[in-house]
Chain A
Amino acid sequence: MTKTGVGIVETKYFTFANQQEGFILESKEKLVSVTLAYETYGALNKEKSNAILILHALSGDAHAAGFHKGEEKPGWWDNMIGPGRAFDTEKYFVICSNVLSGCRGSTGPSSINPKTNKPYALDFPVISIGDMVVAQKTLIDSFGIDKLLTVVGGSMGGMQVLSWLIKYPERIRSAIPIATALRHSPQQIAFDEVGRQAIMADPDWHSGNYYEGNPPDKGLAVARMIGHITYMSDISMTEKFGRQKKNNIQPFKFTADFEVEGYLHYRGDNFVKRFDANSYLYITKAMDNFDASAAKPFHEVLSEKSLKALVIAFKSDWLYPAYQSKEIVKACKYAGLQASYCEVDSTYGHDAFLLETEEETHLISHFLKSILQKRGKT
């Protein structure tokens, strides 16, 4: 297994939906001139049959692997993508795009509204997980790819995987939903709502119109802190921080003197440098509104019998508990779909989908091989 990744990469941009046609959303509203930021790794083969679409989670972006020039931090799933890795770029053509309503190069509330020449802010229409997927499909079309080898993602990325199964089952050979759910439970919605309220309670938020002044950094940082608590587990926090205190002198009664406090502050402060508060509102709302069995029971969605699924959950994940992944498995069983499911014994909580790469690599690389072989047979 080689240790070098994909090297230096660059984000590219794909723009569609002209003035006449536009991009019609599930809400029936229309967006004009939609841009998706995306990156690709590896090469598309002649038959265009080796493409994999990677779908990112709430705070992710198109930069899944490799390094941007001059940067020290690799993409968010770098240890999974590259030569000899789970998504082997010597075999597969890997695509990852930033979601619609994001803030990392794709059209979102911080983008310029062509009607006003100002940022959309809250004039940006409500976006659904399905809208994100329709936009991705347009990008896939632009490559001339008829069928993706697989669509894969964790958390909100997993919701997009499920949405691909609902909307374009004929355009994919397999699906890999990881640490995700058919729909958010009240608990998941509750955490999202606290995050949104933190943003909206920040006086700098100004009903979303902050692009010319100070952004609501405090609110967004608190939202991110709450998020991080839900991504870890009791065990992983104990192992990482214990009740360890930082060494510096206390200038104030309520200084963040525990290690865990410092960590949350650090995470929050870093997040605001790269994320737009309004995007956070739109994306979390899209997740809360998502329901894979809204139109019909999910097992009825799975009518394409040639599809194969690999479902992965993590034992200590209490934000997206394994029972939610088992509901996806249940639907596969009822529909008669060939599926694999593994509940990985991890203590990392929800973060495990980004950290347990050894197990994921084993499961995914063999799964992809079996999809390729099956293709050879038929």
Chain B
Amino acid sequence: MKEKEIIKADHKAILDMVEANSSVLDLGCGDGDLLELLTMKKNVRGQGIEIDEQAIYRCVAKGLSVLHGDIDTGLSEYKDKAFDYIILNQSFQQLKHVETVLFDALRVGKKVIVGFPNFAYFRARLRLFFRGRVPVTASLPYTWYETPNLHFLSTLDFLDYCRQKSIKVERKVYLSGQNRIWILQNFFANTGIFLISK
């Protein structure tokens, strides 16, 4: 990776959440950009799980350890607290069994980082309200017939859920594109990233 390359805002946020020299499991690591970044900048002991075969080849080309498999069933074989961090970035809303995976992640990881598109982002609201169409935004770029997303939630929905399930929310980062959002986050942010623990 080139030093000058712009780091995506969500990756930057996660980079700030992860302590140096820790161990990280990235669920749905895709091409491994985040894991590579964490390895280089934070010297983490990284492991990825990814379902797409071509993405596996790209991860391996980056020197990463990655397992070809489904993250919906991929956690049960790990010991308790096997990793310092479990990352579910942009794969969270695509899980079939969100609750099972989230609680397994909280078992296997000391901390869990969850990142997902905010369905209550104002552009999504406008599109739904004024145009009567399902939102297609920068963070929700798919049309209804091709979206891999199975769950649509807002950042407030997620925080409500954590409260109900007694999940501790340690840090919250709200983003719109490359910018951090500090006010009316559930309205102005199209992405939320949360550091949680049990």
Distance in angstroms between the alpha carbons of A282 and B135 in the assembled complex: 66
Distance in angstroms between the alpha carbons of A336 and B33 in the assembled complex: 22
Distance in angstroms between the alpha carbons of A373 and B82 in the assembled complex: 25
Q: Size range of the interface on A? A: 20 to 34
Q: Which of B53, B60, B64, B78 contacts A333 (CB 8 A)?
A: B78
B4 interface residue (CB < 8 Å to A) = no
Distance in angstroms between the alpha carbons of A370 and B59 in the assembled complex: 12
Are A362 and B63 in contact, CB atoms less than 8 angstroms apart?
no
Query: Shortest CB–CB separation between residue B71 and chain A, in angstroms?
Result: 12
B42 interface residue (CB < 8 Å to A) = no
Across-interface contacts of A345 in B (CB, < 8 A):
53
Over the window 315-337 of chain A, the binary record of Cβ atoms lying under 8 Å from chain B Cβ atoms (1 yes, 0 no) is: 00000000000100110011010
Across-interface contacts of B56 in A (CB, < 8 A):
340, 342
**Nearest B residue to A322, CB-CB:** B68
Across-interface contacts of A308 in B (CB, < 8 A):
65
Across-interface contacts of B45 in A (CB, < 8 A):
338
Across-interface contacts of B78 in A (CB, < 8 A):
333-334
Query: Shortest CB–CB separation between residue A363 and chain B, in angstroms?
Result: 5
Q: Which of A330, A342, A344, A366 contacts B77 (CB 8 A)?
A: A330
Distance in angstroms between the alpha carbons of A341 and B60 in the assembled complex: 10
Interface size of B by CB at 8 A reads 20
A367 interface residue (CB < 8 Å to B) = yes
Are B53 and A344 in contact, CB atoms less than 8 angstroms apart?
yes
Distance in angstroms between the alpha carbons of A373 and B56 in the assembled complex: 20
Across-interface contacts of B67 in A (CB, < 8 A):
329, 333, 339-341
Distance in angstroms between the alpha carbons of A336 and B59 in the assembled complex: 19
Taking each of B59, B68, B69, which has the highest tally of chain A beta carbons within 10 Å of its own beta carbon? B68
Are A333 and B57 in contact, CB atoms less than 8 angstroms apart?
no
**Nearest A residue to B108, CB-CB:** A333
Across-interface contacts of A341 in B (CB, < 8 A):
66-69
A253 interface residue (CB < 8 Å to B) = no
Query: Shortest CB–CB separation between residue B15 and chain A, in angstroms?
Result: 20
Which B residues from 21 to 66 make CB contacts under 8 A with A? 45, 47, 53, 56-57, 59-66
**Nearest B residue to A310, CB-CB:** B60
Query: Shortest CB–CB separation between residue A360 and chain B, in angstroms?
Result: 11
B79 interface residue (CB < 8 Å to A) = yes
Distance in angstroms between the alpha carbons of A308 and B69 in the assembled complex: 18
Task: Enumerate chain B interface residues (CB-CB to A < 8 A).
Answer: 45, 47, 53, 56-57, 59-69, 77-79, 82
A-B residue pairs in contact (CB < 8 Å), sample of 13: A326-B69, A329-B69, A333-B78, A336-B82, A339-B47, A339-B65, A340-B64, A340-B66, A343-B53, A362-B57, A366-B63, A369-B63, A370-B63
